[in-house]
Amino acid sequence: MSLNKEQVKEIAQLAKLSINDSEIEQSTIELNNILSLMAELGEIETDHVEPMAHPLEMSQRLREDVVSETDLSEEFQAIAPKTGKHHFLVPTVIE
Amino acid sequence: MTWETVIGLEIHSQLNTKSKIFSGASTEFGAEPNTQACAVDLGLPGVLPVLNKEAVNMALRFGLAVNAKINQHSIFARKNYFYPDLPKGYQISQFETPIVGKGVINISTEEGDSKMVGITRAHLEEDAGKSIHDLYEDYSAIDLNRAGTPLLEIVSEPDMRSAKEAVAYAKKIHALVQYIGICDGNMQEGSFRCDANVSIRKKGTEKLGTRAELKNINSFKFLEKAINIEIERQQDILEDGGEVIQETRLYDATKNETRSMRTKEEANDYRYFPDPDLLPVDIEDELLTEIKNSLPELPTEKKNRFVSEFGLSDYDAENLTAQKSLADYYEAMLNDGAEAKLAANWVMGELSAALNKNQMDVQDSPISARELSELVKRISDDTISGKIAKDVFKAMWEGNGRVDDIIESQGLKQMTDVGAIEDIIDGIIADNSQQVEQFKAGNTKLLGYFVGQVMKATQGKANPKQVNQILNDKLS
Amino acid sequence: MHTLSVAALSKSLKNKEFSSVELTQHYLDRINRSDLNAFITVTDELALSQARAADAKLANGSGSVLTGIPFAHKDIFCTKGVKTSAGSKILDPFISPYDATLSHKLNTENMVMLGKTNMDEFAMGSSNENSFYGPVKNPWNKKMVPGGSSGGSAAAVAGRLSPFATGTDTGGSIRQPSSLCGITGIKPTYGRVSRYGMIAYASSLDQAGPMTQTAEDAALVLNAIAGFDEKDSTSALRDVPDYTKSLRDSIKGLKIGIPKEFFSDGLDSGVEKVIMESMKEFEAMGAELQEISLPNSAYAIPTYYIVAPCECSSNLSRLDGVRYGYRCKDPKDLNDLYLRSRSEGFGDEVKRRIMIGTYALSAGYYDAYYLKAQKVRQLISEDFKKAFQNVDIIMGPVSPTTAFELGAIKDPVSMYLADIYTLSANLAGLPGMSIPAGFSNNLPVGLQMIGNYWSEEVLLNAAHQFQTQTDWHSVLPENI
């Protein structure tokens, strides 16, 4: 599966990465090189194989429903790029 | 052109656990901004989710209450998209294997029609935070207190065919989640959110039309209006030869219209994949049995019991069982000896009106079930008339004492002395010979006039039934 | 002092031959003189205050075997009040408000954190050339790379800037730099050590582990850091044995499997020679060698380079300039905030892997890539399961070559291909170790040992026995 520049631009948009026109050529080549590595997987027969999501054969452990966290908002907001009136601020979003 | 409307509802029900679905932060409503968002909720680098047991139990309660297939091996998946109120850049949700599978629920509409609506699935996921756009001119302000609150997303089959059916379904689910104690149903606070998928098609066709998803609806009244205005909009488009676009539309309650929403929902590829930080949730048979046995009598069962035991209509039973607290109040009245139909009328009538007017819940009613049942019994035993009872009700509401005391002190007892009533009636007949002639000539409507005169003369204390009977005898 | 192992230092501290403060100052001086660029942050003041607290504990006879011992901490672990960058510009401003479980455990032992070590950005790399803070130099030859992604940790230990260091291994990031720098490193079984507070690269592959001078030291540190953590859903509810107890057991009869697929064309002959010699040592100790096959091992590369990018593309979405970390200057709208913060904040390799992962998970490609890779992962694990029915340990090379020159490998794919021997253990979740086994062209060669699930004791025992018979782990780079 080989990508063209348009597809690379779309992927970048999904991933919120900007690739400008001077970089797009190089990026496309690099990505396609990596993808050709993946093509090998097509050789193996896996129709009856279960996908392995986890090395551990465990079930999800459940936590008791208790409040265990305290208010650390001051510490958390102290490291934020921009805050105001106890909120995290971003440029205005229009819905 | 006859159009058929097809509606499916997606309901997000906030589960009322004490802590969040994947962290130990509190879920209490109304806290100062960002004081209930811990490291995990903030999506700091390196943090990890751990699943809340109670959220799982609540999802199972719902599944069992709608006779759904429970997926005893379910997986959490990441739904990836960027938005400032979504701290990790993905929402932990469920995709291919939700905890609750196909179920069904019975609804009845105002007209008294009953119908089965399918539930496609219900799954667990985490809520996002809130974006506030009017705190600053140039910024949107993000409060992450809500981020991580457990949600149960309940998806219906597209089985509804009118706004009224959709509302009936929404109300049924609303009642159910409160009945089984998993959600407080507070639509103003956002604990219960309904999105409607609406499409139309030519009647008789199988293929579904293109649907629009309606959001931002926070009351049943608006749900009905939003759906109806959307149906109109789609009909206009199709009748003009146009095509309906698949999109998300926000309902504007002030303008009563829907408008297209342009943000995160735009053509997003969510790239779902199983969350590698969480393991599969495996539910044992024993747990299911335990939960099933702990479920209270469900709304449908209660409704059916009210119909069969108390002889109520489907519609009345549906309304009385809409809220568990209301149903309990009503049953307490009956246990005290109140007559079923009369009690039902009073609960759904005067009591509900007073509660609504004062924006109260039945739990906060100043008139207890026992006291209201006393009042109803006094009507049944002819001590007072229904009309007078309304005055007594008002007095009780204001805290002026118990039923019998009020009746006594205000001298409201009905006149039951037939002789006395006859005398008064004779007097009125004598004084109103013109009307008597007109009545005998065929103007039967004038009976009301005579009744009114008798009531005036007796200060409303005559028993209306008796008055009617005696008047009819004397005037015929 | 700086050539002593953790075990030796522990005895010396207990015997009051010197204090923790003296020891700490000694290392801090060495670090400040060093040009290896092994550290991103040196925490002088914090270290000395921790050393003083440790000395107090040692004075009244309380404290554990690790009390007062200094260590270098990979900058991927969150440390409260201390910058935690993961080697990236996007976290350059990030002062962590909380401690990783692993950080907390080491603090509980009253250990002394010298600083945060340099690493490939977000653990993506095999040479430590992908760091925002510049490349790390290999103490054996400063023109060479130390390996990655735990390159700073490996260089710090090899250069004796610290008695041991912490590392993480997703595709070989403990084992490979250990091999290239001539030190001992162990990646435990997946789930053995908590991942809470360890900045995530690929969640189903990441594991933390010690990078030390000896197997005994690795056992001492593993004792302290292993164990169940309720904050990590993928942490195993399993007792931690005393890993030092079985170090001295005889390995007579130990069955060692040598995968034929690990000895093919790509393997440098000098490296191969060292590996084969070390096998003879094991035979001399009574172990039995046999050839085994891991038929699907070649597919480890495409499998890993799908699974890891997919998981990381999602894990790194939280780096958006909104709540912490780097935010671009004067964003004009939300989209601009995201695009510029991320594009300016992430390095090229990270962006490549995010792009690959985003593509592989996108609509229409999930089945062909991610799902397929997880199935092949199952097959790779099954190869190991079959092998471990007949052998106790699998041995072979860690890396096809010794350390290469800084700047020599520019092509990403060529870099990926060098991970061929280490990736499978991560995909299967098995424990893996690298121990110094000799030299080729004056550069260290590591011997890899892969064990069955939860068999860290077997690995450590075999490694320790090898280290009683050989001296490779004691050889120091020039001018140390």
pLDDT tens, residue by residue, B328-378: 999 999 999 999 999 999 999 999 999 989 888 898 899 999 999 999 999
Please give the DSSP secondary-structure letter assigned to residue B413: P
pLDDT exceeds 50 at position A17: yes
Q: Would you give the end-to-end CA distance of chain B in angstroms? A: 56
pLDDT score at B265: 46
Helices vs. strands in chain A: H and E counts, helices first: 3, 3
Of the listed ranges B24-33, B172-181, B256-265, C300-309, the least confidently predicted one is: B256-265
pLDDT score at B440: 85
pLDDT score at C237: 95
B25 interfaces chain A, CB cutoff of 8 Å: yes
Cβ burial B374-399 (10 Å sphere, 16+ → b, else e): bbbbbbeeebbbeebbeebbebbeee
pLDDT score at A1: 63
The three-point CA angle B202-B205-B206 to 5° equals: 135
Residue C472 CB-half CA count within 13 A = 33
pLDDT score at C184: 98
Q: How far apart are CA B344 and CA A54, in angstroms?
A: 57
Mean pLDDT of chain B: 91
pLDDT tens, residue by residue, C219-277: 999 999 999 999 999 999 999 999 999 999 999 999 999 999 999 889 999 999 999 99
pLDDT exceeds 60 at position B263: no
A60/B281 touch (CB, cutoff 8 Å), yes or no: yes
Shortest Cα–Cα distance, A55 to chain C (Å): 5
pLDDT tens, residue by residue, A23-80: 899 999 999 998 998 888 988 999 999 999 888 889 999 999 999 999 999 999 999 9
Shortest Cα–Cα distance, C383 to chain A (Å): 13
pLDDT score at C433: 98
pLDDT exceeds 80 at position C198: yes
Residues of B in contact with A74 (CB under 8 A): none
pLDDT bracket for residue B109 (50, 70, 90):
confident
Q: How far apart are CA B75 and CA B147, in angstroms?
A: 20
Residue in this structure with the two tokens 């749900």, named with its chain if needed:
B223
Report the greatest alpha carbon distance in chain B. 95
Structure-token pair, residue B127: 């809520």
pLDDT bracket for residue B443 (50, 70, 90):
confident
pLDDT score at B417: 75
B48 interfaces chain A, CB cutoff of 8 Å: no
The SS3 assignment for C329 reads coil
Q: How far apart are CA C276 and CA C206, in angstroms?
A: 30
Contact between residue C16 and residue C71 where contact means Cβ atoms under 8 Å apart: no
Q: How far apart are CA C385 and CA C103, in angstroms?
A: 33
User: Which subunits have 3 or more CB–CB pairs within 8 Å of chain C?
Assistant: A, B
The SS3 assignment for B122 reads strand
User: Which chain C residue's Cα is nearest to B79?
Assistant: C314
CA-only gyration radius of chain A, Å: 23
A62/B19 touch (CB, cutoff 8 Å), yes or no: no
Structure-token pair, residue C403: 């350390």
Average pLDDT (B29-50) is 97
pLDDT bracket for residue B285 (50, 70, 90):
very high
pLDDT score at B280: 97
Mutation test of the interface with chain A: which of C306, C351, C450, choosing the one with the most A Cβ atoms within 10 A?
C351
22-51 in chain A: CB under 8 A from chain B: none
Closest to B284 measured CA to CA, from B25, B53, B20, B43:
B53
pLDDT score at B266: 54
The SS3 assignment for B267 reads coil
Residues of A in contact with C375 (CB under 8 A): 46, 49-52
Helices vs. strands in chain B: H and E counts, helices first: 17, 16
pLDDT score at B262: 60
The SS3 assignment for B136 reads coil
A61/C233 touch (CB, cutoff 8 Å), yes or no: yes
Strand B77-80 to strand B90-93: parallel, antiparallel, or no bridges (unpaired)?
antiparallel
DSSP for C194-238, please give it.
--TTB--SSTTT-EEEEEESSHHHHHHHHHHHBS--TT-TTS---
pLDDT score at B264: 44
Contact between residue B170 and residue B9 where contact means Cβ atoms under 8 Å apart: yes
CA distances from C23 to A39, C48, C109, C276 (A): 53, 10, 17, 39
B47/C323 touch (CB, cutoff 8 Å), yes or no: no
pLDDT score at A95: 63
pLDDT score at C138: 98
Nearest neighbour of A17 by CB, restricted to C298, C342, C381: C342
216-245 in chain C: CB under 8 A from chain A: 230, 233-234, 236-237
Q: Would you give the end-to-end CA distance of chain A in angstroms? A: 37
Is position C80 annotated as part of the catalytic site?
A: no
Average pLDDT (B425-447) is 85
Is position C173 annotated as part of the catalytic site?
A: yes
Residue in this structure with the two tokens 């005696």, named with its chain if needed:
B470
The SS3 assignment for C290 reads strand
B84/A86 touch (CB, cutoff 8 Å), yes or no: no
Average pLDDT (C41-64) is 96
Q: How far apart are CA C322 and CA C429, in angstroms?
A: 34
Residues of B in contact with C98 (CB under 8 A): 39, 44
Mean pLDDT of chain C: 97
pLDDT exceeds 90 at position B131: yes
Structure-token pair, residue B337: 């000896």
Structure-token pair, residue C215: 């197997």
Q: How far apart are CA B317 and CA B106, in angstroms?
A: 13
pTM: 0.90
pLDDT exceeds 60 at position C303: yes
Average pLDDT (B369-389) is 89
**Sign, Cα dihedral of C371, C377, C378, C380:** positive
pLDDT bracket for residue B319 (50, 70, 90):
confident
Closest to C165 measured CA to CA, from C77, C54, C83, C99:
C77
pLDDT tens, residue by residue, B264-278: 445 679 999 999 999
Set C10, C20, C74, C313: catalytic member: C74
Q: How far apart are CA B82 and CA C358, in angstroms?
A: 13
pLDDT tens, residue by residue, C110-126: 999 999 999 999 999 99
B282/A60 touch (CB, cutoff 8 Å), yes or no: yes
B132 interfaces chain A, CB cutoff of 8 Å: yes
